[in-house]
Chain A
């Protein structure tokens, strides 16, 4: 969770950058990003000599690079970018580059608390994860899905643990994939391993595994659930007790299982992305109760309202009482909260954000190429050239808006009433 307490929550609307002026200054300006606290706007920029740097508000980083991309702010408002110099890649944080360089580096992520930064790297033809600039002690022949523990102290990735010759289907089915945690690989090998996930305290890692042509399960710290399934999606830890919940398929039915035992009785045509309430007591998941119809199921009860096109991952309110999700019907996007869809639909909509008390839900939305802030289904700020997702103040009484209008970048704190 981002700590927003120290941000400037005084009611105001300030201009922090002149976008048109920034654009006039450089040969090219790529996509803008803004800091979570709204105080900075930045973009990768191309200089006259074709080198790159980052422009932040009215300044720019002192160093230039052969390439710079994936400019992102951390939850703690640090500005990071993947940069290349002398054909080697590394990460720059607020303009300072890490000491370690790599043949390639990519997929930068931040821990939930904003303290840690990780990325994948390739060096000497081996792959691994670098955490806060330090690469793993061991590299692997291939790497794929990875994650950070919530406290940012540990990393885990699915890795290929033995080299396979071209078209070695027998070696593949003997098991060539596993999970490495902080660079140490589980002794167990699987046909495939996907989507590792840490427990809240970082002591356990769960992953989807495949143990035969059509046999799937979940492994926790290397040990497979005894029960095997026809398919499996998205293992996730229940906060508090370290047990794992995943969507599983038996015959043609999907349902949720916990530690290998069925916990939802209803059969679904499809189910994925189970999410737990913060106290770990409630579960919501994207579900298809019948072919071609999608909704959110909360504690095994699907919302009455079903959607034809798409439903994205459920989001719990901080008190765990409410659930919201992005929904799509007739090629229009909207938000549904506790099964009720907002009256208007949009060309695009971003994740719903609950206020700390859970009463209000806000989202960024797009219509006809313009952006709007939508609070509980009503537009409260419209017609921006660009907009970043709104953020509630810690007391939930105010809202931070970060947007571009009339060629200027604004940071606005607005009272809700």
Chain B
């Protein structure tokens, strides 16, 4: 088995380099065997038997297209160079092979599922890549920064090591800030029996606190009976899902749902994040034993759509700058919210130019799927894989990219900087508070 020699294979990451030193052939074989036969047998075998190696999936992948069709970056090659080899060798692979598998699975595939739309058999490459991540996670071979995010989920139930007091204090501070803009705005904490629990991802209290204040203003203007928890369980994000630590993923999701049940809310509205939607609505419930979320969950795109469509929020003056949008994979390809997103953006903005390809065919920003969480060592590789994304955004001529997802937001900010696009990124939340009618 020849290992791939590429600039990416030389990236230094202690999460891969140090951890493979502790691997033994027995351990690798045991874990591979467990994951392949105990956790995944049926569906995995079906996909392996079905794939005809036609390579039609290649043109779907932004990493392949961005790297001048480097065959190693086609979806099927990513599986061939990782999972198929593990299956073929029955886990008899070297620690260096595990390192390569981890690099490909964590940093060269964003689990965006675009390729499965192009496969004549609908083979879910991202699912196969997730099996590789699961194996690597159980072996402890995970990029350092992604593992640290999972460790944060494990220790704190949120992804950025936010202490409980920091969380509550930030909400109280944001309530005060929002109150300067619209008198009487509250962030009602621990209000049992409210209609809505609003949940967010940890970057909001940590680095983007004004988004919380913005939401408090939106809730006030729309007259929503809402609450936020003052306990753990407020973070709806889940990087453990992407690092392959499903036990921690399940733990985080259980607490999120139990917090909503404790607060006696009728639904959860979640902020602008894509992977968090996937974790809370699909992967988390499924691991725990629910067919669907135990309490209805509404993504911010749908929530804003309902508020504007029903007239609960009226737009005073549309946003003038030329905008385009990023269709987050998990809410648009995964959930079909593309039309609602366009409705909201058209209601808020005067000058909207769509991306091409768009909706479920949109290119992934290569930040989701845990990729951006792999941290600084992998940024350059991520940027190279983003060339088509940069070209697609530049072609719109827009000045603002509206990105209703935290991962897309950070990822596109990186792309704009790296490719000198001269654009800015905004959440819908930011444009909505600027354009909505406020009480006199």
- Which residues in A have some Cβ–Cβ distance to B below 8 Å? 28, 30-31, 67, 69-70, 103-104, 106-107, 120, 122, 127, 142-145, 160, 166-170, 172-173, 176-177, 191-192, 194, 210, 213-214, 216, 230-231, 251-252, 269-270, 272, 288, 291-292, 294, 308-310, 312, 328, 331, 347-348, 350, 366
A192 touches B155 (CB 8 A): yes
A residues less than 8 Å from B186 (CB atoms): 30
Contacting residue for B294 out of A28, A122, A252, A310, CB 8 A: A310
In this complex, how many residues of chain B approach chain A with their Cβ under 8 Å: the count is 50
B140 touches A173 (CB 8 A): yes
Q: For the complex, give the distance between the alpha carbons of A312 and B260 in Å.
A: 12
Given A28-B184, A231-B247, 18 more A-B residue pairs with CB atoms under 8 Å apart are A30-B188, A106-B164, A120-B164, A122-B163, A144-B232, A145-B232, A167-B145, A194-B251, A213-B138, A230-B247, A252-B39, A269-B289, A270-B289, A291-B289, A292-B289, A347-B266, A348-B264, A350-B264
A-B CB proximity, top 3 nearest? A292-B291, A270-B289, A310-B294
Whether B261 is near chain A, meaning CB under 8 Å from some CB there, is: yes
27 examples of A-B residue contacts, CB within 8 angstroms:
A28-B184, A31-B188, A70-B189, A70-B230, A103-B165, A104-B169, A120-B164, A120-B165, A122-B165, A144-B232, A167-B145, A167-B148, A167-B375, A169-B15, A169-B147, A169-B148, A172-B155, A176-B155, A216-B247, A231-B250, A252-B39, A270-B289, A272-B254, A294-B289, A310-B257, A310-B294, A348-B264
Q: Mark B161-186, 1 if CB is under 8 A from A, else 0.
A: 00111001100100000000000101
Whether B12 is near chain A, meaning CB under 8 Å from some CB there, is: no
Known: A28-B184, A67-B172, A328-B294. A172 touches B261 (CB 8 A): no
A residues less than 8 Å from B18 (CB atoms): 170
Smallest CB separation, B91 vs chain A (Å) = 17
Q: For the complex, give the distance between the alpha carbons of A105 and B45 in Å.
A: 54
Q: Mark B46-77, 1 if CB is under 8 A from A, else 0.
A: 00000000000000000000000000000000
A residues less than 8 Å from B251 (CB atoms): 194, 231
Whether B89 is near chain A, meaning CB under 8 Å from some CB there, is: no
B151 touches A172 (CB 8 A): yes
B residues less than 8 Å from A166 (CB atoms): 148
Smallest CB separation, A125 vs chain B (Å) = 10
Known: A291-B289, A292-B290. A106 touches B230 (CB 8 A): yes
A160 touches B155 (CB 8 A): yes
B1-58 residues at the A interface, CB under 8 angstroms: 14-15, 18, 38-39
Smallest CB separation, B68 vs chain A (Å) = 33
A166's nearest neighbour on chain B, judged by CB, is B148
Whether B361 is near chain A, meaning CB under 8 Å from some CB there, is: no
B residues less than 8 Å from A127 (CB atoms): 163, 165
A residues less than 8 Å from B39 (CB atoms): 252
Contacting residue for B154 out of A107, A120, A191, A310, CB 8 A: A191
B147's nearest neighbour on chain A, judged by CB, is A169
B289 touches A107 (CB 8 A): no
Whether B295 is near chain A, meaning CB under 8 Å from some CB there, is: yes
A residues less than 8 Å from B290 (CB atoms): 292, 294, 309-310
Known: A169-B144, A348-B266. A107 touches B164 (CB 8 A): yes
Whether B245 is near chain A, meaning CB under 8 Å from some CB there, is: yes
Whether B191 is near chain A, meaning CB under 8 Å from some CB there, is: yes
A residues less than 8 Å from B14 (CB atoms): 169-170
Contacting residue for A310 out of B140, B144, B156, B295, CB 8 A: B295
Among A143, A214, A270, A294, residue most surrounded by chain B Cβ atoms (within 10 Å): A214
B291 touches A308 (CB 8 A): yes
B137's nearest neighbour on chain A, judged by CB, is A213
A residues less than 8 Å from B257 (CB atoms): 310
B266-313 residues at the A interface, CB under 8 angstroms: 266, 288-291, 294-296
A residues less than 8 Å from B245 (CB atoms): 213-214
Smallest CB separation, B21 vs chain A (Å) = 12
Whether B322 is near chain A, meaning CB under 8 Å from some CB there, is: no
Smallest CB separation, A405 vs chain B (Å) = 16
Q: For the complex, give the distance between the alpha carbons of A194 and B296 in Å.
A: 27
Smallest CB separation, B153 vs chain A (Å) = 10
B288 touches A106 (CB 8 A): no
Q: For the complex, give the distance between the alpha carbons of A106 and B172 in Å.
A: 13
Q: For the complex, give the distance between the alpha carbons of A288 and B288 in Å.
A: 9
Whether B231 is near chain A, meaning CB under 8 Å from some CB there, is: yes
B139's nearest neighbour on chain A, judged by CB, is A213
B167's nearest neighbour on chain A, judged by CB, is A106
Q: Mark B224-238, 1 if CB is under 8 A from A, else 0.
A: 000000111000000
Among A122, A167, A272, residue most surrounded by chain B Cβ atoms (within 10 Å): A167
B residues less than 8 Å from A312 (CB atoms): 261
B375's nearest neighbour on chain A, judged by CB, is A167
A310 touches B38 (CB 8 A): no
Among A167, A169, A192, A270, residue most surrounded by chain B Cβ atoms (within 10 Å): A169
A residues less than 8 Å from B92 (CB atoms): none
B142's nearest neighbour on chain A, judged by CB, is A169
B192's nearest neighbour on chain A, judged by CB, is A31
B138 touches A144 (CB 8 A): no
Smallest CB separation, B14 vs chain A (Å) = 8
Whether B193 is near chain A, meaning CB under 8 Å from some CB there, is: yes
Smallest CB separation, B9 vs chain A (Å) = 21
Whether B190 is near chain A, meaning CB under 8 Å from some CB there, is: yes
Q: Mark B74-116, 1 if CB is under 8 A from A, else 0.
A: 0000000000000000000000000000000000000000000
Smallest CB separation, B350 vs chain A (Å) = 37
B172's nearest neighbour on chain A, judged by CB, is A67
A252's nearest neighbour on chain B, judged by CB, is B38
Smallest CB separation, B227 vs chain A (Å) = 9
Known: A31-B191, A106-B165. A177 touches B231 (CB 8 A): no
A249's nearest neighbour on chain B, judged by CB, is B247
Q: For the complex, give the distance between the alpha carbons of A331 and B257 in Å.
A: 14
B residues less than 8 Å from A288 (CB atoms): 289
A177 touches B264 (CB 8 A): no
Smallest CB separation, A147 vs chain B (Å) = 13
A310 touches B190 (CB 8 A): no
Smallest CB separation, A15 vs chain B (Å) = 23
Q: For the complex, give the distance between the alpha carbons of A308 and B295 in Å.
A: 11
B residues less than 8 Å from A103 (CB atoms): 165
A residues less than 8 Å from B190 (CB atoms): 70
B294 touches A192 (CB 8 A): no
B247 touches A214 (CB 8 A): yes
Smallest CB separation, A283 vs chain B (Å) = 19
B359-405 residues at the A interface, CB under 8 angstroms: 375
B148 touches A366 (CB 8 A): no
A residues less than 8 Å from B155 (CB atoms): 142, 144, 160, 172, 176-177, 192
Q: For the complex, give the distance between the alpha carbons of A163 and B168 in Å.
A: 23
B193 touches A144 (CB 8 A): no
Known: A142-B163, A251-B38, A270-B289. A106 touches B168 (CB 8 A): yes
Q: For the complex, give the distance between the alpha carbons of A196 and B436 in Å.
A: 47
Among B165, B193, B245, residue most surrounded by chain A Cβ atoms (within 10 Å): B165
A residues less than 8 Å from B294 (CB atoms): 309-310, 328
Smallest CB separation, B263 vs chain A (Å) = 10
